[in-house]
Amino acid sequence: MTAVLELRSVGKTYPPPTAITALANVDLTVGLGETVSITGPSGSGKSTLLNVLGTLERPSTGTVRIGGTDTSTIPDRQLSGLRAWRIGFVFQEFHLLEHLTVLDNVATGLIYRGLSLRSRRDAAASALRRVGLGSRVTHRPSRLSGGERQRAAIARAIAGEPQIILADEPTGNLDSATGAEIIRLIAGLAGPRTTVIVITHDIAVAAAMRRDVRLHDGRIVRDTRTD
């Protein structure tokens, strides 16, 4: 199995005054096509790990390789390129822009690839059909239910068919029935060319993934696979 994500001795310590060590000596390899849940109690370093995986934060120590590229040695603009082409994010708060239609919200996911508006919208429309929102493309986000908003956000993450989908508590703002639908949707995104990594403290979400990485105090305390 090809490794898309490789963390070697990754540590993250925030500068004073907090001086919190959020991650300590984390080694993690995630292969292409895996579905991984990252679980752990509050303050265990889950969010920091997701930010480091998604190149939104640089680790204090260690190396992070994404698709073979060592992210510690490349400048910010190349990190941005990695995010634009390789990584799709799904957030707990959806982060949809109210002044854009659902279609254009999804199309915005591809704007930093330099694609034309037409091809962005085409890709957005097909991603929206894939998540079952094909009929709501012209709506504003505020007209959608919570579950629909998260579907739109998922469509934005997958519109560019990235290798890695990083989801941060995707069901955190949803009721359990809607959450269950979203879990099924996210778990179904994984494929031979797509890896899904979900941060969660929802046991149902973790159960839907084939691998669970458990964090405690910034360290990996358990790494289990169910086949």
Partner 1 sequence: MRSRLRLRDAFALGAVGLRARRVRSALSALGIAVAIAALVAVLGIAASAKADLLAQLGAEGNLLTLAAGQTFTGNPTPLPATAEQMIKAVPPVREVTAVSVVHQATVRRSAAIPVIQTGGISVLAAEPSLLETLSATMLRGHFLDSIAQRYPEVVLGYSAAQNLGVGTLTAATQVYLGGTYFVVVGILTPVSVAPEIDDAALVSFPVAVSRLNLDDRPTRVYLRADPDQVAAVAAVLPFTASPAEPEAVEVRRPSDILVARIAARTAFVSLFLGLGAVTLLVSGVGIANIMLISVLERRSEIGLRRALGARGGHVATQFVLEAAALAAIGGILGVALGCLATAVVAHAGGNPITIPPSAPLAGLGAAIAVGVLAGVYPAARAARLSPADALRAP
Q: What are the residues binding partner 1 (CB under 8 A)?
A: 51, 54, 56-57, 76-78, 80-86, 89, 91, 93, 95, 97-100, 108-109, 111-114, 116-117, 156
Least Å from the CB of residue 114 to partner 1 = 4
Rounded CA separation 74/87 (Å)? 16
Which residues face 29 on adjacent strands? 6
Least Å from the CB of residue 111 to partner 1 = 5
Rounded CA separation 17/95 (Å)? 29
Q: Which is nearer to partner 1, 54 or 179 (CB)?
A: 54
Rounded CA separation 5/68 (Å)? 8
Q: Which is nearer to partner 1, 111 or 203 (CB)?
A: 111
Q: Which is nearer to partner 1, 88 or 212 (CB)?
A: 88
Q: Which is nearer to partner 1, 95 or 143 (CB)?
A: 95
Rounded CA separation 9/29 (Å)? 11
Q: Which is nearer to partner 1, 84 or 180 (CB)?
A: 84
Least Å from the CB of residue 18 to partner 1 = 12
Whether the CB-CB separation of 159 and 106 falls below 8 Å is answered with yes
Least Å from the CB of residue 12 to partner 1 = 11
Of the candidates 63, 71, 91, the one whose C-alpha atom is nearest the C-alpha of residue 165 is: 91
Cα–Cα separations (whole angstroms), residue 125 to 19, 65, 83, 110, 211: 45, 32, 21, 12, 31
Least Å from the CB of residue 154 to partner 1 = 14
Q: Which is nearer to partner 1, 60 or 181 (CB)?
A: 60
Least Å from the CB of residue 207 to partner 1 = 27
Whether the CB-CB separation of 102 and 128 falls below 8 Å is answered with yes
* Dihedral sign, Cα of residue 54, residue 168, residue 148, residue 188: positive
